[in-house]
Amino acid sequence: MERAFQVDLRGVVDLLSHHLYTTPQVYLRELLQNAVDAITARRQADPDAPAVVAIDPPETTGDGTLRVRDGGIGLSEPEVHELLATIGRSSKRDELGMARHEFLGRFGIGLLSCFLVADEVRVLTRSARGGPTVEWTGRSDGRYRVTPAARERPEPGTTVTLRPRPGMEPWLTGAMVADLAVRYADALPVEISIGGRRVNSGALPWQHRHPSPAVRAAALREYAERVFGFAPFDVIDLAVPEAGLTGLAFVLPMAANPAARSGHRVYLRRMLLSDSVDKLLPEWAFFVRCVVDTGELRPTAGREALYEDDLLADTREALGAQVRDWLVRLAATAPDRLQRFLSVHHLGVKALALHDVEMLRVVDRWWPMETAAGPMTLAEFRRRHPVVRYTATADEFRELAAVAGAQNFGLVNGGYAYDIEIMRRLPLLDPAITVRRLEPAELTTYFEPPDPALEARLRPFLRLAADTLHTLGCDVAPRSFDPPSLPALYVLSRAAAQAEEMRSARSAANELWAGVLGAVDATGAGERPQLILNLRNPVVRRVAEAADPSLAALGVQALYGQALLSGHHPLRPQDSALLNHSFLGLLEWAMAAGGTR
């Protein structure tokens, strides 16, 4: 035998309060939603019907209750049983003229939110279609009764009365109700009054009429300061007709954390959905905060977020395109303002440039990259250098920038977020552009080798230097290069770096894996790093000319250690031991030399 499900209303209320709604304050939003829908339904048949929702807080009623009154379509007794006593019954609303497309409510559970703050809800309603006034009283334990009202309502409509549960009284006070009414219902196209005083403006911020663009800009700036706490860098008008969406994007004047979710204020048919809706814009657009109203995007059941579907995805893409178009216009019409914007929000623009050619063009022309010749846009860099070479890390750039700059060798720091990806996309702007990662050996081709006579004089020293560093796996090469203040440069090719990593991994592996890694490593076994000694540096020349071989060896060790440290290269245990040995040896030699004077 089939039976109907039994519903424990207390359990449902607990479910709503702990899992569907995040705060009890939504009870007023749901009451206002129902009232506005009822008014809208009545005015479809009677355009002159009153469009007022009156709220009487306990301070006005005098009996500790809160009353919400409307002049809407009202309900007959059968409709009361059908709508108010059946959880989740939303289809009946359409039969009453509340077509889904034109009304705020969709889920048929709004009245249950009242049980978040009250144990008893009383509804007094009179249908505009005729019939007597009916009184429905529901309790949070699941019981309800329907009776003829003791007194007829003078007009069609509905009055909802809440008696707060002990401990929930603060949610129904006049001050709290006024705050909630302004928060949720300020833009609704009906009058919301508390104690006879209207509290809502009835318009969204972009719908107000202003005598001039300057006055509008000032009003929107004041709105952003009030709602978001900042004076916007700029304001972007938004519109997505497919989603019935209009609104504004306020550009932040300060840097924002790209990892933080941006909270946007979203209205659903002019009723506030939430102040903290995320995923409304693409992730790269973290530098704007939006206020929008939509008639087509779907809310979640708790009406505090947007339902993720194809329409929301398309809307997100459309809104991102409008923010992107604003940036393109800014680049074309106000380059000085674009520069100020980029100085704060370059990460967002660079992230967009990874998949948008127009934004790539903006970054190419306007964003200064760090180069060996100082800050420079990629467009300017390409005018000076036919090949865009970059370092993979900031440490590598810091090691090589001064040397590259002195040799007029074009080099870009690729160690910042998105920069390498952006440079690799430059051929999309011009297929003739060549972009590649720097191979450090390329830079050494700009250095001058010693002339034959000098090389002959240096041969004994170079043999000593090679023997000193042989066990460290490093070769020595004498060159002359600028700046003279740099005594030595440790050059590690990518092949040599990979070979060193493989050797380290092989030494740490067991016998089986050491054999496998040894076979892989065989191709790079001949690659070794180089210590390039700068013959223009006076210290290097003095070390090379030292009469005492032990002192020259200490000098070579010290130059090797200094090159590792200045290039931010990792120190192996043998490197650290060599640094300590050279430091103590030179200190001992200096003290001994000082004592003989």
Inside any domain, residue 498: no
Report the C-alpha gap between 67 and 53 in whole angstroms: 10
Inside any domain, residue 489: yes
pLDDT score recorded for residue 44: 92
Q: Are residues 252 and 106 in the same domain?
A: no
Q: Nearest 5 degrees, angle CA 520-CA 523-CA 529? A: 110
Inside any domain, residue 507: no
Biggest CA pair distance of the chain:
121
Of 198, 213, 233, the last residue of a domain is 198
Using alpha carbons, select from 317, 323, 316 the residue that is nearest to residue 359. Answer: 323
Inside any domain, residue 349: no
Inside any domain, residue 500: no
Q: Are residues 289 and 407 in the same domain?
A: no
Q: pLDDT (tens digit, 9 = 90+) per residue, 225-266?
A: 999 999 999 999 999 999 999 999 999 999 988 877 778 999
Q: pLDDT (tens digit, 9 = 90+) per residue, 368-413?
A: 999 999 999 999 999 999 999 999 999 999 999 999 999 999 999 9
Q: How many alpha carbons lie under 13 Å from residue 302 in its C-beta half-sphere?
A: 16
Q: Which two structure tokens, joined as six digits, stand for 382?
A: 């390409």
From the number of C-beta atoms within 10 Å of its C-beta (0-12, 13-18, 19+), residue 14 rates as: middle
pLDDT score recorded for residue 104: 44
Q: Are residues 377 and 312 in the same domain?
A: no
Q: pLDDT (tens digit, 9 = 90+) per residue, 111-123?
A: 778 888 998 999 9
pLDDT of 180 higher than 80: yes
Which CATH number fits the domain that encloses residue 258? 3.30.230.80
Q: Are residues 462 and 430 in the same domain?
A: no
Q: Are residues 129 and 182 in the same domain?
A: yes
Do strands 475-479 and 245-251 pair parallel, antiparallel, or not at all (unpaired)? unpaired
Annotated binding site: 30, 34, 70, 158
Q: Are residues 44 and 96 in the same domain?
A: yes
User: What is the rounded average pLDDT of the residues 555-567?
Assistant: 94
Which position has the higher pLDDT, 132 or 19?
132
Of 177, 198, 219, the last residue of a domain is 198
Q: Are residues 88 and 219 in the same domain?
A: no
Q: Are residues 164 and 211 in the same domain?
A: no
Inside any domain, residue 40: yes
Which range, of 80-84, 314-318, 345-349, averages the lowest pLDDT?
Answer: 80-84
Which range, of 146-150, 452-456, 518-522, 537-541, averages the lowest pLDDT?
Answer: 518-522
Which range, of 12-21, 47-56, 581-590, averages the lowest pLDDT?
Answer: 12-21
Q: Which two structure tokens, joined as six digits, stand for 512?
A: 């089986």
User: What is the residue-averaged pLDDT of the chain?
Assistant: 88
Report the C-alpha gap between 268 and 104 in whole angstroms: 7
Which CATH number fits the domain that encloses residue 412? 3.40.50
* Domain hosting residue 583, numbered range: 452-493+529-595
pLDDT score recorded for residue 301: 77
Q: pLDDT (tens digit, 9 = 90+) per residue, 52-98?
A: 999 999 999 999 999 999 999 999 999 888 887 666 555 444 455 44
Q: Are residues 50 and 158 in the same domain?
A: yes
| CB atoms inside a 10 Å sphere around CB 489 | 25
Which CATH number fits the domain that encloses residue 572? 1.20.120.790
Structure confidence at residue 319 as a pLDDT band (50, 70, 90): very high
pLDDT of 176 higher than 50: yes
Report the C-alpha gap between 90 and 102 in whole angstroms: 14
Domain count, the chain: 4
Inside any domain, residue 503: no
Q: Are residues 176 and 95 in the same domain?
A: yes
pLDDT of 130 higher than 50: yes
Report the C-alpha gap between 160 and 118 in whole angstroms: 12
Q: pLDDT (tens digit, 9 = 90+) per residue, 506-543?
A: 555 556 555 554 555 544 456 789 999 999 999 999 99
Q: Are residues 464 and 570 in the same domain?
A: yes
pLDDT score recorded for residue 6: 64
Annotated binding site for ATP: 30, 34, 70, 158
Q: Are residues 319 and 406 in the same domain?
A: no
pLDDT score recorded for residue 340: 95
Inside any domain, residue 4: no
pLDDT score recorded for residue 43: 93
pLDDT of 494 higher than 80: no
Of 161, 177, 198, the last residue of a domain is 198
pLDDT score recorded for residue 101: 45
- 8 A C-beta contact, residue 148 and residue 134: yes
From the number of C-beta atoms within 10 Å of its C-beta (0-12, 13-18, 19+), residue 150 rates as: exposed
